[in-house]
Structure 1
Amino acid sequence: MTERPPSELDDRELLAAHCAGDPDAFGELFRRHRDRMWAVALRTTRDPELAADAVQDGFISAFRRADSFRGDAQVTTWLHRIIVNACLDRLRRIKPTSELPEYDLADRHDAHSSTVIRLDVQEALAKIPEGQRLALTLVDMQGLPVVEAAAVLGVAEGTIKSRCARGRTALAELLRDKHGDGYVGGTS
């Protein structure tokens, strides 16, 4: 359907080509963005199986509803919103789960410090309100601009800014409570 191969098209062109019937266009979009969407889903659900299901649901939904893309945001923002909504749908369907499993403090001495920090941050993220966790995941962990995170979550930019600020404060307090003021991953 297109004169150039899908790998040479930008995201908007790929989505348009998909809507026009190009059988390879959506596959290229998937290849470009699956890892980033997986990371968003994993941080949102905190469960690899739920994340995998949500990514699958989200991409199937995007495939089927590609003609609903209005073009007033980037394609990646549109995909983020679909994936986050798929995650939230999956999470609503299950009973509340327990937090991340505790790990033996003695084992921490043998683990690489960045892994320990990552686990501690994941555990702390699980304890903050969903809105703050989603805002921090999109802005701080995925690097989305505030305006895009606002579009993904369907809230005002100011809401994203305040959720991020409150979330960062809550995370810092949780990490300080766990490790004291000398925590290597905390603020000084």
Structure 2
Amino acid sequence: MQRGAGDGVAAPEGPPSDAELMARHAAGDPRAFGELVGRHRDRLWAVAVRTLGGDREEAADALQDALVSAFRKAHSYEGRSAVTTWLHRIVVNACLDRARRASARPTAALPDGEVRDRITPPAESAEAPVVRGETHREVLDALRALPADQRAALVLVDMEGYPVAEAARILEVPPGTVKSRCARGRARLLPLLRHLRGPDGKGGGGNPSGSASVTEPAATPAPGQGGQRA
């Protein structure tokens, strides 16, 4: 007969929650923040890459800036929102800051293969069809044509699947503003990505400009795992 906690056998403890890891970090646990980041790094990386229109170098720098900021500001976390919401807010703000600075100065795109090794994500699986990579690049190129605020709203709602209310908390704007930004962004993407829709009118590589959402293949994982990038 299986013995339970009432028989004097302690039930196995599950992994600590995000909030518990935040509390441990604030209390001085040197491993807690690295565990928290390792738990969410891939998704934070995907948000950074997409919010910055596929610029992996800028995304890596923005993510590093955001994680350093989160590391230092953890004591100010009050639990009014989920830890993931708090982290995403810091990452998105870091990305938007970089996007605004970039828009104020002339930029030249790096030739293929010249992104620094330290931020080059792992190559896609050999089984991934070539068209998937092409679609991914086309969607990111189209996103780059949007204003940063519209791009951030679309990334959170249409690509990351956040409810509008949660995206509003991350962006610190009313839900109606998120809906408006998404609608305007989708309208601007439609002529840029119409060719990606299949002959039946459905997205062959996602539904990049349909009335419901923008979708694309998952972004490549963040370079490295766990704690902050050196």
Q: Name the TM-score, length of structure 1 as normaliser.
A: 0.81
The residue matched to 1:9 in structure 2 has which SS? Answer: coil
Structure 2 Cα separation of the partners of residues 180 and 10 of structure 1 = 41
Displacement of 1:53 after TM fit? 1.0
Q: How does 1:55-74 map to 2 (within 5 A)?
A: 55-74=63-82
- Which of 185, 192, 195 matches 1:167? 185
The number of residue pairs the alignment matches comes to: 174
Q: 2:153 aligns with which of 119, 129, 135?
A: 135
By how many angstroms is 1:98 displaced? Answer: 5.5
Change (3 A) 1:79 1:179: closer
SS in 2 for 1:144: coil
1:124–1:175 Cα contact (<8 Å) kept: yes
Q: Which AA in structure 2 matches 1:37?
A: L
Give the 3 Å change call, closer, same or farther, for CA 149–99 of structure 1 in structure 2: farther
Q: Which residue of the partner structure matches residue 118 of structure 1?
A: 136
Larger radius of gyration: 2
C-alpha displacement of 1:140: 1.3
Q: CA deviation at 1:134?
A: 0.6
Please list the CA deviations of residues 132-187 of structure 1 after superposition, one character each: whole Å capped at 9, or x if unmatched: 111011111112221221111111111111211222222122223x6798573454
Cα displacement (A) at 1:79: 0.4
User: Contact between 1:99 and 1:123, CA under 8 Å: does it hold in 2?
Assistant: no
Aligned partner letter, 1:97? T
- Give the residue type in structure 1 aligned to 2:86: W
Structure 1: where are the runs of 5+ without partners? 1-6, 102-110
Q: Tell whether the 8 Å contact from 1:100 to 1:123 is kept in structure 2 after alignment.
A: no
Change (3 A) 1:99 1:136: farther
- Offset at residue 61 of structure 1 (A): 0.6
- Give the number of the structure whose residues are more often helix, by fraction: 1
Taking the aligned partners of 2:46 and 2:107, their CA distance within structure 1 comes to 20
Partner of 1:153: 171
Q: Cα distance, 1:100 vs. partner?
A: 9.4
Deviation at residue 97 of structure 1 after TM alignment: 3.3
* Structure 2 unaligned regions, length at least 5: 1-13, 112-128, 212-230
Alignment of 1:79-98 (within 5 A): 79-94=87-102, 95-97=105-107
CA distance in 2, matches of 1:173, 1:100: 26
The one-letter amino acid of 1:60's match is V
Q: 2:135, 2:196 within 8 Å by CA — same for their partners in 1?
A: no
- Local SS of the residue matching 1:8: coil
Q: Which amino acid aligns with 1:184?
A: G
Q: Which residue of 2 aligns with 1:27?
A: 34
Q: Which amino acid aligns with 1:26?
A: F
Post-superposition offset of 1:89: 2.3
Partners in 1 of 2:140 and 2:80 — Cα distance?
Answer: 33
Cα distance, 1:88 vs structure 2 = 2.1
Partner of 2:116: none
